[in-house]
Amino acid sequence: MASKRKKFRRVFQYYLMIAIKHNKLTKVNFMRSYYAHLANASPHSTLKNFSPSIFRSSAIFPVISLPGISARLLFMGYWMLKSHVQEIAAQISLRSSEGELLYRTSLHIREAKTYRIELIDQLIAIGFPLDQPFIGSLEVEFFSTRHLVFPYPAVAINYYGPAFSTVVHSAQRVYNNFEDMRNNSHSHVPEAGFNIYADEDHEPFISIINGPEALHQAPLLMEFYNSKNEKLTHEISYPTLQAYQTCLIYPGREIELQKFLDGQPGTAKITCKVSWIFPRLLVGNIQRSLPAMTITHTYYDCSKASSESDYWRPAEPQWLPATLMIPLTLQKNLFTKAYFYPIYPPNTLIIDLEIYNQEGRLLGRKDQCLALHSQQSGYQSVSFKDICKKLDLDTEQNLAARLIARTEDGSRIPARIKLGLDLGVEGQQMPCNICTNLQPFNPALENKPTSFRWAPILADREKSTVWLINSSSHVDYTRSAQIDLTFFREKDTETLKRTIILPPHGFRIIYAQEDQELCQFLENTIGWFTAVSPNPYTSTYYFAEDSSGVVGGDHGF
């Protein structure tokens, strides 16, 4: 046992040195191919035989402490369940906005339970006055002597306050080594795919964290698009970006963004220069009066991508080219919209739509609800309440929608079809803006024996929900899903277990505050759940809706 601990300590120290070593390479917004992503994600990929083991997995987030706003990191000990890793060492580093290391602590993870890292606890530890504003970054690094599979961990950042709770999963991370950087940097692209709002009470923000080496003359190019598909460009340049410096950019304070958007949501593309760090950015919107925030992460701008790896092969007869099942909340003053951005490879995409009830019954269909001409259409959206009304469907019931992407001539589709999923309250421009993708058909999933999903439950809020969905890209999908649910909490290793069965294209919603057994188990604290099934086509979402009208949410892991 002593020798194992020494080995663990050596690996921890070695990868810690790699994480902070001086490096001469500087990169500008890179993208790896979707095929490379699948090769890394698939447990049966032959390419993985040539990949080095991963002993460090990390994420770094901008953090803010202001009156009515704080932040925390959320994760669970999923390694013990999914990869049978017995022990993980975690290192948490708090840095100032200038990149100065303020506090560092460690945590040994040996249990499959809920973990929470509060910014306020870090500030108390360094004696920072809690009545003073703080902007900086919080990095969490996980180390193991066993292969961790992914260099990015399943960590969510949760900004919260009395009026809101908003969440997004891992965004930026410091590369482990040169090969890690190279494998995730196949082409240069801007970051994009998110919504912005600008009026007297709302403004967007963009966050950028530099990596472990200072940069000189770091340009930042921002291209904004409004509902009329007009473009507004703004560029700034940082004379120096210090190592680990955190930048919060409020573009509405520098250009006439409010006039440009004219009361409607817009979007943006960001081209930035950072050092030795994955440039997936945390972005969002702020409502000053509450105060409140909503956050999401950016995604690749693929509009100039045209290589073979940027497209998926034509669908086989029993499959649809790409689909995605999403939750709909349309009751009373609630809305659900899907936003499509000017980021797709050269192509003409048709989006069809099917509406299902909780038991998987098809209630209605709308063919060609959108035509996305990559070089012409720009920024478009689908209002599901409007479509359901035209289909004469009862919007007071729980519904889900299957989005279907295809081409008119049956040719290949883009491998990445990203959209923004907004669930919100009418008249309140603070919906969630979940970054998700239509999934290209993949017959290889038929051979996957088990699916393992997991996500947080924001049960500390007044209305917290979890959606469990069973849907696939089959033309005729007939497979039900038995799902074994296990719920975890922070205070101990006790669990709560259930089994549910979802019909094809069916779903279930868990209301954390109305579920007496779950509510008693979690005691109004944040928990996690796992959903294990022999069906590979399950997916999860989770949400928190406050009486203020702010909705936070994300897809599960």
Per-residue confidence (pLDDT) for residue 180, from 0 to 100: 86
Same fold, 2-20+56-174 and 187-300: yes
Which residues have a Cβ under 8 Å from the Cβ of 430 and sit 6 or more positions away?
Answer: 164, 202, 285, 287, 292, 294, 424, 548, 549, 550, 551
- Residues 191-220 as b or e (16 or more Cβ within 10 Å = b): bbbbbbbbeeebbbbbbbbbbbbebeebeb
Which listed CATH number (1.10.10, 2.40.30, 3.30.70, 2.60.290) goes with 2-20+56-174? 2.60.290
Q: How far is the CA of 500 from the CAs of 223, 483, 542, in angstroms?
A: 46, 5, 17
pLDDT higher than 90, residue 27: no
For 230-288, write each residue's pLDDT tens digit. Answer: 999 999 999 999 999 999 999 999 999 999 999 999 999 999 999 999 999 999 999 99
User: Are the beta carbons of 223 and 232 closer than 8 angstroms?
Assistant: yes
Q: Which residues have C-beta within 8 Å of that of residue 113, sequence separation ≥ 6?
A: 76, 77, 488, 489, 490, 492, 493
Q: Which residues have a Cβ under 8 Å from the Cβ of 491 and sit 6 or more positions away? A: 523, 525
DSSP 158: E
Average pLDDT over the chain reads 91
The predicted model gives 498-526 an average pLDDT of 98
Give the pLDDT confidence score for residue 116 in this predicted structure.
98
> What is the percent of the chain with per-residue pLDDT over 90, rounded to a whole number?
83
Give the pLDDT confidence score for residue 6 in this predicted structure.
52
- Which residue in the block uniquely carries the two structure tokens 């963009």? 206
Domain boundaries, the chain: 2-20+56-174, 187-300, 308-555
**Which of 183-197, 401-415, 472-486 is predicted with the least confidence, judged by mean pLDDT?**
183-197
At 34, is the pLDDT very low, low, confident or very high (cuts 50, 70, 90)?
A: low
How large is the greatest C-alpha to C-alpha distance in the chain, in angstroms?
68
- pLDDT 10s digits, 294-311: 999 999 999 988 888 889
Architecture in CATH of 187-300: Sandwich (2.60)
pLDDT digits (tens, 9 = 90+) for 213-231: 999 999 999 999 999 999 9
The pLDDT assigned to 11 comes to 44
List the one residue out of 482, 417, 492, 487 whose CA is nearest residue 459: 487
pLDDT beyond 50 at 143: yes
Task: Kindly tell me if the per-residue pLDDT of 21 is higher than 50.
Answer: no
At residue 95, does pLDDT exceed 70?
yes
The pLDDT assigned to 375 comes to 64
- Phi-psi region for residue 263, left (φ > 0), alpha (ψ -120 to 50) or beta? left
The answer to whether residues 63 and 158 touch, using CB atoms and an 8 Å cutoff, is no
Average confidence (pLDDT) over 166-181: 92
Q: What is the average per-residue pLDDT within 70-82?
A: 97
User: How high is the pLDDT of residue 191?
Assistant: 96
pLDDT at 23: 34
pLDDT of residue 312: 94
Would you say the pTM of this structure is higher than 0.85? yes
**How much is the average pLDDT of 65-94?**
97
Confidence of residue 108 (pLDDT cuts 50, 70, 90): very high
**Unique residue bearing structure tokens 């919007």:** 395
pLDDT, tens digit, 9 for 90 and up, residues 328-370: 999 999 999 999 999 998 889 999 999 999 999 999 999 999 9
**How is 13-81 classified by DSSP, letter by letter?**
HHHHHHHH------EESEE--HHHHHHHH-TT-GGGGGSPP--EEEEEEEEEEBTTBEEEEEEE-THHH
